[in-house]
Amino acid sequence: MLKRAILAAALALAACAPAPDARVEAAETLYADYLDAAGAKDTIESGLVSQYAGADGPAWRQRYAMQREALKAAIARIDEGKLSPLNRRALGAMRAGIEYRDTLSLAPTGDCAKRTDAAGDALRSSLYACFSSIGDAIAFEGKTDPRTAALQMLERLDEPARRRALFFAMAPLWQAVNGDGGLQSPYRRLINERAARAQLTIRLAEASLGIAPGEGERWLERALDAWPRDARVEPWDFRHGYAAGVRAVAQCAPVEKLKATNDRFFADLGADLAALGVMQDVGNRPGMSPVDYSDFVRVGREVSSAYRPAIARVSVILQEGGLGGSAELAHELGHAVHFAAIRTRPSLAFTDDLTLAGEAFADITAWSVYTPAWQRKYLGCASTEAEGLRARLGGVALDMAWGLFEIRMSRDPALDPNAVWTDITQRYLGVAAHPELSWWAVRGQLVDDPGYMIHYALGAFATADIRARIAADIGAFDAGNPRWYGYVSDRLFRFGGERPPAELLQSFLGRPVSPDALIADLRRAAD
């Protein structure tokens, strides 16, 4: 997940970036300093390090506050009427970025217990806190596991009774999010407040693919219609049903192996993580975010007439081994190498409309993990191609179901979320109806940023198209290809948000993104 603090600070949509006038250029330099201070402060506050670039947390907080005031003063001196359209957008977005960060600083610290009477940012913050206080402590068979590990265990446990027990061990999290399911449930109050904003997120995601409003829902329905539905399965058995490929390599993928494995994979792609300065917060230490994410520690910019690349940080809870954990790490590292390849002015480094494309880019590498070629080289054992394909697409199908869920809930927040989820999963995934269970409430994005799941759901269409084009141009890359990083950097990554994503993707593919490649994959999984 791309951390919202960076996304909200994104500045403008532009097909080209003419040189800004002197005052905007000066403000943009201060804005880059402000983002760098924010990145350093956030890195320290994450608990990964106690210092960054020779300064501790209080020093960076002080620097952040000073940069904020200097930036606001510089913006106040700009005569907006004399700016080009691009720079007017940049100015407005810098103001919005400051306002967003100010809102974050004023929001109370999340406390799950306060969700029942909170509203606004406090409600969102409280619900997100439930994913740490409850979601990171799933009690099962005498020990506790984070939510991500518990979901991966559902893919591997062969005993139906144990799967059912683990599934219901997550019920305290569902109940914290959706209460008794009534109109005053925490989630229903949140989506009622955030529906309009979620709809804007969904429309922006559709626009970034170059499709009309509402077309995303039709794409998701078509793709989910192609999911191979077997006999009706219980919700606690669904993940196990698609995950034979995960179980086939489980013994070859212990958790302590996964970081080094991904380091080697990216090096084989021409993207040496250490050389790029990527900071990895990988494991299960106390205080980690309950949702995996990537963020900038510093933004890329011109320094002494040379471009100084961005430095990225990834945060991934990794307690269980297997393909799921490895793919999640490969996804976040995919964001990191994307950030490091951006070569544009700081204001255009990562625009809001780039979010879907950014998630799609990150899955280019994550999807490789499910191929026999990757598994044989990096794990020493492999599933069959059919098993790996179905294991990969099972996660995609769930993301598409959540994307459809968010479309429908944001369009009509008066709907019962359990009923919406039951209809989607029964109709498209073949899951037995359990409208009494809020088992949809296991993704932190649903409460941290309603609407965000659409980026994974629709982004899968772009990923399928992009992967096919890369392989056609430079050959197979699932087991490494030293041409890969230079190729994707030059054609996709370096632009950041300088070009509108729909234009960028059409230029790369030679046509608009199509749902056909992903739907063909889904149909192959049924064979």
61-105 pLDDT, tens digit per residue, is 999 999 999 999 999 999 888 888 778 777 877 787 788 778 665
Residue 17 — pLDDT band, cuts 50, 70, 90? very low
Asked if residue 85 belongs to a domain, the reply is yes
Q: Which residue segment(s) compose the domain that 89 sits in? A: 1-106
Q: How many CB atoms lie within 10 A of CB 121?
A: 15
pLDDT tens digits, 286-298:
889 888 999 999 9
Residue 350 exposed, middle or buried by CB count within 10 Å (0-12, 13-18, 19+) = buried
pLDDT tens digits, 463-511:
999 999 999 999 999 999 999 999 999 999 999 988 889 999 999 999 9
Asked if residue 28 belongs to a domain, the reply is yes
Task: Report residue 43 as tokens.
Answer: 């890195």
Distance separating alpha carbons of residues 67 and 514, to the nearest angstrom: 44
Asked if residue 34 belongs to a domain, the reply is yes
- H helices present in 305-416, as ranges: 323-341, 355-366, 372-378, 385-411
Question: Would strands 293-298 and 311-317 be described as parallel, antiparallel, or unpaired?
Answer: antiparallel
Asked if residue 24 belongs to a domain, the reply is yes
Q: Is the pLDDT score of 3 beyond 60?
A: no
The 8-class DSSP code of residue 233 comes to: B
Task: Report residue 372 as tokens.
Answer: 């026999």
Asked if residue 142 belongs to a domain, the reply is no
Q: How many structural domains compose the chain?
A: 1
Q: Is the pLDDT score of 11 beyond 60?
A: no
The mean pLDDT of 168-176, rounded to a whole number, is 97
Per-residue model confidence (pLDDT) at position 109: 60
Look at 407 and 88; give whichever has higher pLDDT: 407
Asked if residue 448 belongs to a domain, the reply is no
Asked if residue 411 belongs to a domain, the reply is no
CA angle 198, 201, 202 (to 5 degrees): 90
SS3 65: helix
Asked if residue 388 belongs to a domain, the reply is no
Per-residue model confidence (pLDDT) at position 320: 86
Distance separating alpha carbons of residues 141 and 161, to the nearest angstrom: 12
